[in-house]
Structure 1
Amino acid sequence: MLFKFAVKDFIDDREFKNLSPKTIEGYKLGLRKFQDFLTDEEIVDVEEVTAGVVKRYLLDLKNNRSNNPTSLNTKLKNLKAFFNYLVQEEIIEEKGNPTKKVEYVKEDIKIEVFTDSQIKQMITYFQRTMSRDKTFFAYRDYAIIVTLLGTGMRLGEICNLQWRHVDFENLTITTYGKKREYSSVPITDKLKKELREFKIYQTKCFGKETEYVFTNQTGGRLSENAVQNVFKRLKTIMNFKGVRVSAHTFRHTFAHRCLMAGMDVFTLQRMLRHSKIDMTQRYLALWGTALKEQNDKFNPLNNLNI
């Protein structure tokens, strides 16, 4: 089968399975780039693609397009999904799957977190801006930062958050994001206070209660790109060294602080809504030395006369 027709069948199958538009767009973009590479290699049929071709493609991405290990693994994961589909549909044989023996690239595990000083700088900046300019955007961006720090929510979850999903009485937020699943996470009294005050301010600005918690200038849903632009501006203003200003860094910081305070890994897994505990354990492995103090303090052997 011609590669371009195989791609069309695969995308149709993903849409039929009701995958998110973002996931489908990722498949489209990745397979389009791979198809361009195959054209340069004068390959047009899926059965002509070998493990060697896949490896050359990944090397090209690494050497000529500066893809890091994480990006390479994401692209390989998408290719594996595509060729596994072709095997499932009996378009190619199992032994003809070119990605079967191509292993993922080893990644250097480095998870960045904000320091207490950096967090204070960001909070102070927004508080001063709110006091001086009294703009909706300053208050909104401050509320986003505080919510990220207080919940570890993902970027998509922040953008999808609606007021009907914020339960002030029971101190919970219902998130909707990755895998398009709803999950409930607890919030503190402090975050409840911040969000209630923001809601009052927001309602006065628009003359009505908005559907979404974090909105654009017209009161509609704030896009992921708009939030990323907030972080880009904040990065320029703060000029932090060695740490990326992003929703994911706030999420990592939330996880780091929870573990440092003694939270167990299973509770953290539920707080972060990880479907598997692997990622949560990665946090534990990285910050295990920091947890030594907690172990020294609470270890049951401390009180035994042995």
Structure 2
Amino acid sequence: MPTKEFQDTVQHFSSFLLDKGRKPSTIKRYAYDIEDFGQWLQESKKLPLQNIWTTLNTEDYEEYFNDLKMQRNYSDKTLHRVYIVLSRLYKCLDLPNPIEDMNFVIQPNRALRDEDFISKAEEKRLKYILTSLEGLTEKQISVRPVLMDRNIAVVHLLINNGLSLQELVGLQMKHVHFENNTISVPGIVGIERTIVLSEDDKKRLYNYNKSIPEPVRPRYHSDDPLFVAFDFTRKTYHWSYDNDAPKALTEIAVQKMIRLEVERANLRKGISAQHLRNTFILRLIENEVLEGEIIKQVGFKSKLSLKRYYDYIV
């Protein structure tokens, strides 16, 4: 058995994870990874008698990971998980991390941080402000009835359904199926998939479409865009003469809308469409949705895209 110091560390790490709201099943798995490392240290006669975590060096970890890969045939995914768990242990202990200097393991992309997501309180405030006239000028209030359903629908598609910004602005009327509350998301940047709308969101999209004057209204089952660019000065919808169709709302316009609503809600600067999608993905993981199902729901092309989110959860 590993030393008492090692066992105490495992217990401390488990309490640390529990305090961060990790699920018991997750804590059990991470504790197993740490205990397995301790068993390897003992069998390899590398377990320090004291000051374990300051005594172990980068070479020790390189040897361990090499053993996991060559002797146990661990997959890259499993190696990456063990890498993250051990790295998080050093963070918990507030010690320099020798694992970061390894040449053996491919380093993940920039780690996601708390500020890459929005909290439930921020989400609640943002959704409230979308339905409110709070902080609007008289000019803005005059066009609010035209834009309220659109803005709510946009934000909901991002945070409730996990669309990317590119997917959102690429939606066309032929992708929307009001009869069964679904949208077929085209494979613009990810995998084609179908999302289910809530009854309220379906009604918002329907009312938004009907609020657009018929001559410039996107037509059902057509290539016309779902969301149409709006001219605030003239209070009219833009028309694309090149396509002889309503002009699609742009990514820049959506980001500006979100920025203004975030500002009006007195939330922190920088919240964007990506923050909303990140939050959707994170909540799927927290609710223990299976990895394969998450990939389907968000349109990822491979499991690699999920790595950063699982790393954050650890």
TM-score by length of 2: 0.51
Deviation at 1:168, TM superposition (A): 2.5
| C-alpha distance in structure 2 between counterparts of 1:220 and 1:147, whole Å | 20
Deviation at 1:221, TM superposition (A): 0.4
What is the Cα deviation at residue 262 of structure 1? 3.2
**Are residues 190 and 267 of structure 1, via their aligned partners in 2, closer, same or farther at CA, if it must alter by over 3 Å?**
farther
Structure 2 portions without partners, runs of 5+: 1-105, 231-237, 239-245
> 1:127 aligned to 2:153?
no
Matching residue within 136, 157, 169 for 2:179 = 169
Tell me which amino acid in the other structure corresponds to 2:184: T
Which residue pairs with 1:212 in the alignment? 225
Q: Distance in 1 between matches of 2:132 and 2:259?
A: 19
Match of 2:113 in 1: 110
2:133, 2:125 → 1: CA distance? 12
Deviations 1:89-119 (A, max 9, x none): xxxxxxxxxxxxxx98963432621112111
CA deviation profile, 1:193-245 (whole Å, cap 9, x unmatched): 332233333356x663452211112241011111121122223323323x732
The alignment status of 1:279 with 2:292, answered yes or no, reads no
* Corresponding residue number in structure 2 for 1:192: 202
Residue 185 of structure 1 aligns with an amino acid whose one-letter code is I
> Which amino acid is the alignment partner of residue 119 of structure 2?
T
> 2:277 matched to 1:251?
yes
Higher relative contact order, structure no. (Cα contacts within 8 Å, ≥ 6 residues apart): 2
Aligned length in residues: 184
Unaligned runs of 5+ residues in structure 1 are: 1-102, 289-306
* 1:263 aligned residue (289, 295, 300): 289
Seen in structure 2, the aligned counterparts of structure 1 residues 216 and 172 have a Cα distance that, compared at 3 Å, is same
* Larger relative helix fraction: 1
The Cα of 1:153 is off from its aligned counterpart by 0.5
Match of 1:226 in 2: 253
- Give the 5 Å matches for 1:24-43: none
CA contact (8 A) 1:150 1:254 kept: yes
Distance in 2 (CA, whole Å) between partners of 1:120 and 1:286 is 23
Q: Give the aligned CA root-mean-square deviation in angstroms.
A: 3.0
Give the TM-score normalised by structure 1: 0.52
Question: Between Structure 1 and Structure 2, whose CA radius of gyration is higher?
Answer: 2
Distance 1:256 1:104 in 2: 21
Measure the CA separation in 1 of the matches of 2:191 and 2:302. 15
CA–CA distance in 1 between the matches of 2:287 and 2:109? 31
CA apart distance, 1:283 = 1.6
Q: Distance in 2 between matches of 1:154 and 1:215?
A: 17
